[in-house]
Chain A
């Protein structure tokens, strides 16, 4: 029955869509999602929010943060299976910091982190929870920051970091276009990714001076990556130069052959005329 249903829809959508949803289901079909999607309100909201998140894109699912057993309906939320449930407000940095270790350190040492127990902001205050998106400088904005303090210092940090961000974005665009040609740039992409993470991590110190100082070092690292990219692009330029030569020679051969053909054509016409005369 399943199979026939599959076949019928496949006729309409050339089975791609279904294969797509099928494979998603394969990766995601935990009992957490099955149950919570059917619940209402507060209890089902995390499912749809998570589906749009950067975590979902990278295959980080419920149990990776909340623990528990995603394969067993009855025991899914049993502490015996490592279920952690919802962290309290003050526990959130430790909760997220199990994976995001570097950021956690910087955060805990910062003014934000030190104010944690007196109602200071933690991870979720800015990044949100289940629907978390890839971090961008847009998270630093007057609305968000002015909930607690003036935007001024935050704006300064944002400006300083913006330059680094743009540089890294530029590098990553160029790397993507190289990868598009089958060039192996995974290592350089890794360097650029690390640079991006280090620079974003830096924000969590929320110290204007420190951000300014380190930005120079980041620029230097960016220049290094840019140099590696430049070397590859030079090589690609050389290939194009060879290409011009090869295409040129082939066209030249073609033209010469057509010219030779023309002389034969004249011979053929002359012979035909003389035989007709």
Chain B
């Protein structure tokens, strides 16, 4: 039966060839490590966001008068609505964790270097797209947290010289966060950004497959190679077949992350969801202790450290631009972390700075 189906598809689509090329005969480097599973983990978590997001869309009402109530109904009256909603809200946090780990491992192994600049940049844009998805999704439940987090986040753009005020107004669709803001954030969150995300994930994977997966810069038989000035697909003869040998490891780590997500959803959903998320938005009362999500704390705190908001915003822009263009700035062929002391120092200091500023932001 199984074979006849394959025959049927093979005659019409040449499916066996595609499967072989991408699964059983797609060879990964011998020394491929566990960090290479994070891409698959992210793919799985993003798919979960799509499924839970569509389910929430069935009952959510994108109207300031009813949004909060509709979320409350999802949480209390719809069977397992609480589960779907928590999976979606807590899931976004787990995605950010996985994204950070994915990017840190790529940085550590120098995999972003020529000829993989497009992979890095598309990944970096994906990271930012995810953060914007988080931010727009934040507003939708129309809670105190939603309202004020969005007010603060959009207000920051006001520091841009000349066009700042107009920019803030444009993002909000008015002078204040209100009906118009919900409309545009809703459209972004459920349509524009997910579509962009899917397209960009496609491009990212295309880059990965087209240029070939990078060899981890570890072990005795690794030596930095000169990168040719013409297109070369990096092959790994004698390597590990992606399927089933490595795919099973992908599945193992995916389950591990889903287990972490389930652990948070069932036992500590409040960890990422502050109390003000359960109060309806009130445009006339700012809650006392409003803080952005943990992954925005660094940005929040840098704005406070600098003497003016504009300088803070500029500093953030410089850091993000440097990171985005890293493969064009860091052009040495050496990828072994311990032979790149300057990079490794910056890397570790960067992580330390990120953590320290975030903690500072949390307690300030």
Closest chain-A Cβ to B218's Cβ sits at a distance in Å of: 16
Q: Mark B266-310, 1 if CB is under 8 A from A, else 0.
A: 110110010101100001111000100000000010011011111
Which of B10-18, B186-194, B251-259 is the interface stretch?
Answer: B251-259
CB nearest neighbor in A for B279: A179
In this assembly, does B63 line the interface, its C-beta being within 8 Å of a C-beta of chain A?
A: no
The stretch of A19-27, A40-48, A63-71, A221-229 in contact with B is A19-27
Tell me if B9 is interfacial: C-beta within 8 Å of chain A.
no
Does B334 lie at the interface of the complex (its beta carbon under 8 Å from any beta carbon of A)? no
A180 to B82, CA, bound (A): 13
- Interface residue from A7, A179, A254 paired with B158 (Cβ < 8 Å): A7
Chain A hits for B251, CB < 8 A = 253, 257
Q: Of A111-119, A136-144, A189-197, A242-250, which stretch is located at the interface?
A: A242-250
Whether the Cβ atoms of B303 and A250 lie closer than 8 Å is no
B33 at the interface (CB under 8 A from A): no
Partner of B278, one of A15, A179, A254, A275: A179
Answer whether residue A159 sits at the interface, using C-beta atoms and an 8 A cutoff.
Answer: no
Residue of A3, A19, A27, A184 touching B75 (CB-CB under 8 A): A184
The residue from A8, A180, A251 contacting B308, defined by CB atoms under 8 A apart: A8
* B240 within 8 A of partner (CB): yes
Expressed in whole angstroms, the minimum distance between the Cβ of A148 and any Cβ of chain B is 39
Task: Please tell me which one of the listed residues B255, B284, B290 contacts residue A253 in the complex, with CB atoms under 8 A apart.
Answer: B255
- Distance in Å from the Cβ of B326 to the closest Cβ of chain A? 28
C-beta contact mask, A132-153 vs B, less than 8 Å → 1, else 0? 0000000000000000000000
Q: Which of A100-108, A122-130, A201-209, A260-268 contacts B (4 or more CB under 8 A)?
A: A260-268
Counting CB contacts under 8 A, is B152 at the interface? yes
Q: Are A260 and B248 in contact (CB under 8 A)?
A: yes
> Any chain A CB within 8 A of the CB of B105?
no
Any chain B CB within 8 A of the CB of A73? no
Contact of B155 among A3, A10, A247 (CB under 8 A): A10
Distance between Cα atoms of A49 and B263 in the complex (Å): 48
CB pair A182 B82 closer than 8 Å: yes
Whether a CB of chain A sits under 8 angstroms from the CB of B72 is yes
Point out the residue from A16, A246, A254 that lies within 8 Å of B252, measured CB to CB: A254
User: Counting CB contacts under 8 A, is A212 at the interface?
Assistant: no
Asked if B357 is an interface residue, CB under 8 A from chain A, the answer is no
What 1/0 flags go to B131-172 for Cβ under 8 Å of A? Answer: 000000000000000001001100110110000010000000
The residue from A27, A180, A239, A247 contacting B263, defined by CB atoms under 8 A apart: A247
Does the CB pair B308–A16 fall under 8 Å? Answer: no
- State in angstroms the CA–CA spacing of A272 and B237 once bound together: 12
Q: How far is the CB of B82 from chain A (nearest CB, A)?
A: 7
Instruction: Indicate if the CB atoms of A239 and B266 lie closer than 8 Å.
Output: yes
A-B contact count (CB 8 A): 125
CA distance A43 to B105 in the complex (A): 67
Contact check, A11 vs B278: say whether CB atoms are below 8 A apart.
Answer: no
Q: What is the bound-complex CA distance between A243 and B238, given in angstroms? A: 43
Most buried by A among B165, B308, B312: B308
Using known A-B contacts A23-B286, A181-B270, A239-B266, determine if residue A11 contacts B244 with beta carbons closer than 8 Å.
no
Contacts A19-B151, A23-B286, A254-B252: A14 and B159 contacting too (C-beta < 8 A)? no
Q: How far is the CB of B72 from chain A (nearest CB, A)?
A: 6
Among A20, A184, A250, which residue has its beta carbon within 8 angstroms of that of B258?
A250
Residues of B within 8 A of A264 (CB): 240, 244-245, 248
Task: Report the bound CA distance from A257 to B252 in whole Å.
Answer: 5
- Residues of B near A257 (CB, < 8 A) are 248-249, 251-252, 255
| CB under 8 Å from chain A, chain B span 25-73 | 30, 72
| Between-chain CB contacts (< 8 Å), 29 pairs | A7-B158, A7-B159, A11-B303, A14-B152, A14-B156, A14-B303, A14-B309, A16-B286, A19-B286, A23-B283, A23-B285, A179-B278, A181-B269, A182-B85, A182-B269, A183-B75, A184-B75, A239-B266, A246-B266, A247-B266, A250-B255, A250-B262, A254-B255, A254-B256, A257-B251, A257-B255, A261-B248, A268-B240, A272-B30
Listed in ascending order, the chain A residues whose CB lies under 8 Å from chain B are: 3, 7-8, 10-16, 19-20, 23, 26-27, 179-184, 239-240, 242-244, 246-247, 250-251, 253-255, 257-258, 260-261, 264, 267-268, 272, 275
B interface vs A, CB < 8 Å?
Answer: 30, 72, 75-76, 82, 85, 148, 151-152, 155-156, 158-159, 165, 238, 240, 244-245, 248-249, 251-253, 255-256, 258-259, 262-263, 265-267, 269-270, 273, 275, 277-278, 283-286, 290, 300, 303-304, 306-312
* Given A182-B72, A267-B245, 8 additional A-B pairs, CB 8 A: A8-B308, A11-B307, A16-B152, A16-B286, A254-B256, A257-B251, A261-B248, A264-B248
